[in-house]
Structure 1
Amino acid sequence: MKITQNRALPPERMAEMALIGSRLARLRIARHITQAEAALRAGLSRNTAYRLEKGDAGLAIGQVLRYLDAIAPGKTLLGLLQENDPSLVALAASEKRQRVREVTRKERDKLDF
């Protein structure tokens, strides 16, 4: 009988897999690597890379580690979870920046102060 891992795992473990997947995706984006390129470097299909980043529990831990090594060579799983990579810090800083422009006279009149 075939068991679907996503159904067999408790919700807490599924949340952990989703966290690992989202951290992998975030690290890949922070390093400006496409999903297809990361999959190619890891020797995986792009569909497998997609499933990894979505937190699919049916994939082997070896695939997770190969994908991580393709994105950030030498990075450990613990380091991924701690989010201590300099590229992640730079990505977070760029996400916080928000340009503010002055309100035009017409917009100010619309606000009706």
Structure 2
Amino acid sequence: MLRAGFSDVLLLIYMAMLVMAAVALVMAAIAREDAYRAANKQNKMFWLILLGITVAVNLLVPIMFLQIAGLIATIVFFVDVRPALRAVSGGGGRRGGSSSDGPYGPYNGGR
């Protein structure tokens, strides 16, 4: 019974790793090629190949070492590459305006 519960937890972890890698692959494919150069990161093809191999390994090869290596590559993409791409592409989180803007313009605290 304990072994069945453990295998369910492992299945959820594997599925989460697959979903993260697939999302990273889609985000890498959507980003522009020149954004990679402007952010001084590896080129787009490098990340597409690396993340594509990660998705394939998660789907087809049940070797935990390779899946962990793919997870590290996915985390590096999310933590380092994606924020740099968003910064050079103009997608810095908010869609324009400052942090004090309300729905009808800037909020100045009643002044």
TM-score (ref. length: structure 1): 0.37
Which structure has more relative contact order (CA 8 Å, sep 6+)? It is 1
TM-score (ref. length: structure 2): 0.37
